[in-house]
Structure 1
Amino acid sequence: MKEEVFILDAPGGTGKTVVINFLLAKLRQIKHITIAVASSGIVVTLLSGGHTAHSGFKPPLDLSKKEKANCNISHGSIKANFWDLRHNIRLMGGATVLPAGDFRQTLPVVPKTTRADEVNSSVQKLRITTNMRLQLSGDDADKTFSKQLLDVGNGTLAGEKDGWVSLPFGHMVSDLKELMNKVFPNLRNQFTDHNWLKTCAILAPKNVAVDNLNIKLLEQLLGEHYIYNSIDTVFNIDEAMNYP
């Protein structure tokens, strides 16, 4: 296979995962080696034979604490000989690479004349724009809302003035209680309906606000509360590679 770098740029719901899984299945069918990695474990569960990037390539978990960040792979490891096996010292050993995602969620980049411009001119971008979830739902209100969100993300929303944007969607509420009642009406009687719960969500910019909302919503439910703690750090950073 000819070595190439492609980028699959598309908003959520347009079918990136379907395209990637189709490519993985097709390439594996014709006996090509494929590796699917993602930044989080949640995304990995959607990819056929997927791994987290940390599990697959061992990049350090905290780049801010290292002056020189290197992948934590032992010397002499089989994984360290990827370039040698392919007899190619180019990026990823000259293998075909397909980064995918909704790049509207990344921070703005100011274009300058750098080496990145040379790379950009050689990268082929693939775009799919039809939101398949909305197409199948047939809800016109959801389609309008989705288009307005894309206009905000693409910077094409009309009416922008002095850096301020007038949003044509949404409802104003006077306090937190009214917000919770709007999003989770009759929660005490409906919280066992998982399909209903999946349609309700409140987004907040900070974790402290999320915790406050969770506590207030849980207080509306009957029964005893339980707290389940999780661990997301290791005692010895040098042993991080031993954990997925």
Structure 2
Amino acid sequence: MRVLLQQDETANVFAKQMLDIGNNKIAVDTSTEFITLPTDFCHITDSKVELIQRNFPDIAQKFNNHNWLAERAILAAKNKDVEDLNATIQNFLPGQLVSFRSVDTVMNQDDVINYPTEFLNSLESTGLPPHNLQLKVGSVVNMLRNINQPFTMQWNKTACEKTDE
């Protein structure tokens, strides 16, 4: 979508390369069973800090510029990697970390014995923030899902039934 809206040719090339990788159109080296990325695909870094500094130079001064931030991203395959990168990026920002903890009680008091507070706090569900979310004032937070939708989509059973035509 960003490629189409901004008509950015380098983003278009990158998007095509990503699609080629996802669609198995990149040859696999039979000895290693790895693919060889195109030379213009990415820059290799030696550390997480170097990766952050290369993608977000001078982040301590520019983190409030949302247009600047919108032009940058680090892609990670696992949520754990994202959490580690976010924690490291927080260290580059000025200010003190503030902890935001989730609600740690059950609705029905009869369930307290089945779901102790420690258990509830240990749950790490995809799509939900951790129990103890630590942020600095001015940190950007992306909302990935609208949980307060203005309408509810309903499934139309008759539209999905098989017909004998």
Match in the other structure for 1:141:
10
Match in the other structure for 2:90:
218
CA distance in 2, matches of 1:153, 1:174: 25
Task: Say what the alpha-carbon RMSD is for the aligned residues.
Answer: 2.8
Alignment of 1:37-52 (within 5 A): none
Q: Percent identity?
A: 36
Once the two structures are TM-superposed, the CA of residue 176 in structure 1 deviates from its matched residue by: 1.4
Once the two structures are TM-superposed, the CA of residue 155 in structure 1 deviates from its matched residue by: 1.4
Name the one with the larger helix percent. 1
CA distance in 2, matches of 1:185, 1:142: 20
CA distance in 2, matches of 1:153, 1:232: 40
CA distance in 2, matches of 1:191, 1:211: 18
Query: In structure 1, the residue corresponding to 2:52 is in which secondary structure?
Result: helix
Unpaired runs of at least 5, structure 2: 112-146, 149-165
Give yes or no for the alignment of 1:152 onto 2:21: yes
Aligned residues: 107
Alignment of 1:65-214 (within 5 A): 133-157=2-26, 159-162=27-30, 163-168=33-38, 169-214=41-86
Unpaired runs of at least 5, structure 1: 1-12, 14-132, 238-242
Paired AA for residue 146 in structure 1: A
CA distance in 2, matches of 1:231, 1:197: 31
Q: Deviations over 1:20-49 (max 9, x none)?
A: xxxxxxxxxxxxxxxxxxxxxxxxxxxxxx
Higher relative contact order (CA 8 A, sep 6+): 1
Once the two structures are TM-superposed, the CA of residue 139 in structure 1 deviates from its matched residue by: 1.5
Structure 1 residues 208, 225: CA separation in 2 closer, same or farther (over 3 Å shift)?
same
CA distance in 2, matches of 1:205, 1:232: 29
Once the two structures are TM-superposed, the CA of residue 210 in structure 1 deviates from its matched residue by: 2.4
